[in-house]
Amino acid sequence: MSLNEIQTLLGFQDSPDQPCGGVNALLDKHIDEIHRQISEFQALQDELFRLRSRCQSTGSIRECEILRDLGAGTATASPIFPS
C-alpha cells in the first residue's frame, strides 16, 4: 500500500464510531490492484516461457528464434514488449 493509503487507513481511527465501510473500500481497492498486477505478471511469465521454449541452448546466436523475433519486430505485440 502507498503511504497515502496507509495514512488514510490510520485516519479512520479518528472517527472510531463511524461504520468501517471506508476501511473496507480502501482495502478492496488495494486487493483489486494486486489482482490486476498478478494477472499481468502471469501473462508476462507465460510469454517468457513461450519465448524460452523457442530457443535451445545448444544452438548458435544466429539460430536463436527469440532474437530473430526481436529483429523482425514480431515480438512487439507481446506483454514483454508493449507497443
Among candidate residues 18, 36, 17, 66, the one with its CA nearest the CA of residue 74: 66
pLDDT tens, position by position, 14-33: 998 999 999 999 999 999 99
Q: For residue 61, what are the contacts with CB-CB under 8 A and spacing of at least 6?
A: 67
pTM: 0.65
Percent of the chain with pLDDT over 90: 49
pLDDT tens, position by position, 46-64: 988 988 888 777 878 888 8
The answer to whether 54 touches 66, Cβ cutoff 8 Å, is yes
